[in-house]
């Protein structure tokens, strides 16, 4: 591992809805934040904050064994991670005492306490003063857990009903002075609806995404899904690298929704490195939460995250996170507003090409037959060239090519002005474009 350079101009500190932390990298509410031992190790490693694993009513939840499964790529790289673990299985008193002690020992780090309780106001009114007494910086309402707890009327069962989201959020604002972060479930048709409800209830911020309902695989010998508990299994919560595109889209949907404009967002989902974090921040996140990457690689990954983000910010001239937070939001729009006259064509770098033919096979079999296979009759050498007139700029060849930057998509000068689908004469419902007087 290379030396970590600590001499940067970039300031990674955050003030997220009034919660201050030395950097935007927080551990999400999950097994890594289950108890003081883990959290102290995380702070010693350099994490800026944690969301303490979800607290509930006593007696605490009871978990099963086994709990995790995964989807693997090459060399057993974990692409997606599935879990059926519930909220904390330790007593409320033990958790509260440990939160108090850790916050006293680490006053500069953010400690947010995740909560999940039945949808009756008295439960929330009872626990909130106890949490506030720990010195915690904020609370996160777990409205996203997709397994086990929804069967009891909690978790995603609340997050899928905007009226419940607003109701419980308003109770928490009524009974606590701490910032209230609402954690949203992705297991819903339109993520904007619960986000709007959270804001209407007085939420100081939202965090997303929680895990996605999933069954990762089936043991075809035993005919049961993984993870297997005895002779049966159940759906769990899916997270890790595979969910990042879904998470980015949902963060963007909230960031560009006029009804939730300006609502602070904590980004969660598939964050493995500094670049992933920067992408979430560019789409409007004020901080990010990490779980799966820490579980797979340990708490030490945060140093490379901080180092990489600071180096990139320095290279771009960004002094603070606010300098680029949300900068990608104005460039994220509905399909109908994309430029119909924009055109790109694939170009193959013949010096870099290894002649594998993957681009030709992909285009010939499944796309637009726009890459010709040329064979030298004398030597038998293969060469692949783009047929410009047939290329629609779909990017498939670039994606399938095993050599980075061998195939590039080159913008073409069409000589035509911007025109979106609402203006396109090929659209039977096109709007008339105003003409100059």
Residue 5 has pLDDT above 50, yes or no: yes
Q: Which of 315, 331, 347 is the last residue of a domain?
A: 331
What are 390-432's pLDDT values in tens digits?
999 999 999 999 999 999 999 999 999 999 999 999 999 887 6
Helices 301-316 and 36-45, packing angle to 10 deg: 40
Q: Domain for residue 416, yes or no?
A: yes
In terms of domains, do 98 and 187 share one?
yes
Contacts for 388 with CB less than 8 Å, ≥ 6 apart: 345
* 238 beta partners: 82, 212
Query: What is the span of the domain harbouring residue 352?
Result: 335-423
What are 8-34's pLDDT values in tens digits?
689 999 999 999 999 999 999 999 999
In terms of domains, do 188 and 55 share one?
yes
In terms of domains, do 290 and 206 share one?
yes
In terms of domains, do 239 and 365 share one?
no
Number of compact structural domains in the chain = 2
Q: Domain for residue 385, yes or no?
A: yes
Which CATH number covers residue 139? 3.20.20.70
Q: Which of 331, 356, 384 is the last residue of a domain?
A: 331
Of the pLDDT bands very low, low, confident and very high (cuts 50, 70, 90), residue 238 is: very high
Of the pLDDT bands very low, low, confident and very high (cuts 50, 70, 90), residue 1 is: very low
What pLDDT score was predicted for residue 7? Answer: 65
What pLDDT score was predicted for residue 32? Answer: 96
Q: Domain for residue 53, yes or no?
A: yes
Q: Domain for residue 8, yes or no?
A: no
Of the pLDDT bands very low, low, confident and very high (cuts 50, 70, 90), residue 141 is: very high
Q: What is the mean pLDDT of residues 93-99?
A: 98
Which CATH number covers residue 376? 3.30.70.20
356 is catalytic: no
Q: What is the mean pLDDT of residues 41-60?
A: 97
Q: Domain for residue 223, yes or no?
A: yes
In terms of domains, do 312 and 383 share one?
no
Residue 6 has pLDDT above 60, yes or no: no
In terms of domains, do 310 and 355 share one?
no
How many angstroms separate the CA atoms of 57 and 64, rounded? 18
What are 339-375's pLDDT values in tens digits?
999 999 999 999 999 999 999 999 999 999 999 999 9
In terms of domains, do 232 and 321 share one?
yes
In terms of domains, do 57 and 194 share one?
yes
In terms of domains, do 189 and 88 share one?
yes
Catalytic residue among 17, 119, 145, 291: 145
What are 167-208's pLDDT values in tens digits?
999 999 999 999 999 999 999 999 999 999 999 999 999 999
What is the pTM assigned to this prediction?
0.94
In terms of domains, do 140 and 274 share one?
yes
Q: Domain for residue 437, yes or no?
A: no
Q: Which of 310, 331, 352 is the last residue of a domain?
A: 331
């Amino acid at each position: 591992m290379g030396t970590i350079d600590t001499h940067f101009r970039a300031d990674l500190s955050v003030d997220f809805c009034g919660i201050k932390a030395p950097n935007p990298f927080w551990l999400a509410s999950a097994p890594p934040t289950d108890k003081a031992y883990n959290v102290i190790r995380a702070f010693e490693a350099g994490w800026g904050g944690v969301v303490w694993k979800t607290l509930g009513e006593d007696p605490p939840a009871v978990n099963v064994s086994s709990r995790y499964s995964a989807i693997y790529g090459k060399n057993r790289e974990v692409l997606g991670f599935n879990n059926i673990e519930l909220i904390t299985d330790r007593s409320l008193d033990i958790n509260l005492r440990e939160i108090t002690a850790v916050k006293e020992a680490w006053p500069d780090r953010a400690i947010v306490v995740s909560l999940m309780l039945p949808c009756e106001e008295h439960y929330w009114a009872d626990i909130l003063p106890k949490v506030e007494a720990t010195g915690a910086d904020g609370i996160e309402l777990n409205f996203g857990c997709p397994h086990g707890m929804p069967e009891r009327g909690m978790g995603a069962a609340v997050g899928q009903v905007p009226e419940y989201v607003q109701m419980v959020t308003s109770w928490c604002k009524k009974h606590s002075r701490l910032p209230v972060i609402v954690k949203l479930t992705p297991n819903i048709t339109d993520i904007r609806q619960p986000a709007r409800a959270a804001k209407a209830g007085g939420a100081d911020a939202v965090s997303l995404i929680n895990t996605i309902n999933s069954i990762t695989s089936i043991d075809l010998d035993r005919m049961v899904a993984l993870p297997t508990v005895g002779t049966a299994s159940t759906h769990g919560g899916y997270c890790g690298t595979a969910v990042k595109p879904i998470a980015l889209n949902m963060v963007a949907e909230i960031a560009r929704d006029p009804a939730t404009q300006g609502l602070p967002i904590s980004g969660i989902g598939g964050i493995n490195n500094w670049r992933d974090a920067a992408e979430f921040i560019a789409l409007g996140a004020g901080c990010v939460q990490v779980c799966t990457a820490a579980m797979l690689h340990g708490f030490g990954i945060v140093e490379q995250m901080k180092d990489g983000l600071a180096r990139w910010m320095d290279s771009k001239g960004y002094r603070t996170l606010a300098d680029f937070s949300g900068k990608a939001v104005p460039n994220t729009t509905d399909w109908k507003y994309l430029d119909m006259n924009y055109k790109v064509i694939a170009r193959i770098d013949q010096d870099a090409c290894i002649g594998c033919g993957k681009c030709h096979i992909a285009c010939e079999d499944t796309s637009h037959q726009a890459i010709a296979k040329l064979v030298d009759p004398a030597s038998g050498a293969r060469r692949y060239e783009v047929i410009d007139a047939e290329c629609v700029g779909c990017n498939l060849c670039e994606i399938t090519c095993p050599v980075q930057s061998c195939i590039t998509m080159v913008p073409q000068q069409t000589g035509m002005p911007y025109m979106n689908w609402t203006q396109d004469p090929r659209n039977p419902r096109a709007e008339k474009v105003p003409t100059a007087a």
